[in-house]
Amino acid sequence: MKASIELSLGALLLMSYGIASQAQQPAQLVPQPVQSTAPRSLTREQQAVLDKQDQDIAQVALDIVRTIDEGKAGEVWDGASPVAKRIISRDDFLNKIAHDRAQFGAPGMRMPMGIRHYRYDGTGKLPAGAYINVLFDTQFSQVAQSAREMVTFILDPDNVWRFAGYSVR
């Protein structure tokens, strides 16, 4: 499981580098009469690569929640970012997962709800960096309404996306 997640995240890293290098244009020496402050739009090819990256990371997130479903949250923590490991110990992570999941019961139907990209400057509770949240709307056996599961990834200093957190509400 850990090797599969790391391999998938490594592939995402390579795609991210390709997109970033394609999106960056060398500075022009000739002044332009009007400079747009709007962000540059991506080419179709760049957008396709980003869409594929999002699909891949969504699959990794689904693998992570399924691993948690199987009672193997320790394996998830073992492959987590060092940033996450500094925030919560393995025992605290396992206890939190057990406590949170006990309130909801067994998971049933799980629907992907989207992917969100964030960049934090480190002034709040989270360390500075790039984050991706993958959201799922999940039916659980002990609650009438569906719950929201969120799997968070951080881009580590070695430019590899790694698991950084899980929550269910």
Per-residue buried b or exposed e for 118-143, using 16+ beta carbons within 10 Å of the residue's own CB: eeeeeeeebbebebbbbbbebbbeee
The band of 126, judged by pLDDT with boundaries at 50, 70 and 90, is confident
Q: Give pLDDT, residue 78.
A: 98
End-to-end CA distance of the chain: 25
Domain boundaries, the chain: 2-23+43-168
Task: List, for residues 20-72, the tens digit of each pLDDT value.
Answer: 333 333 333 334 444 445 567 989 999 999 899 899 999 999 999 999 999 99
| CATH architecture classification, 2-23+43-168 | Roll (3.10)
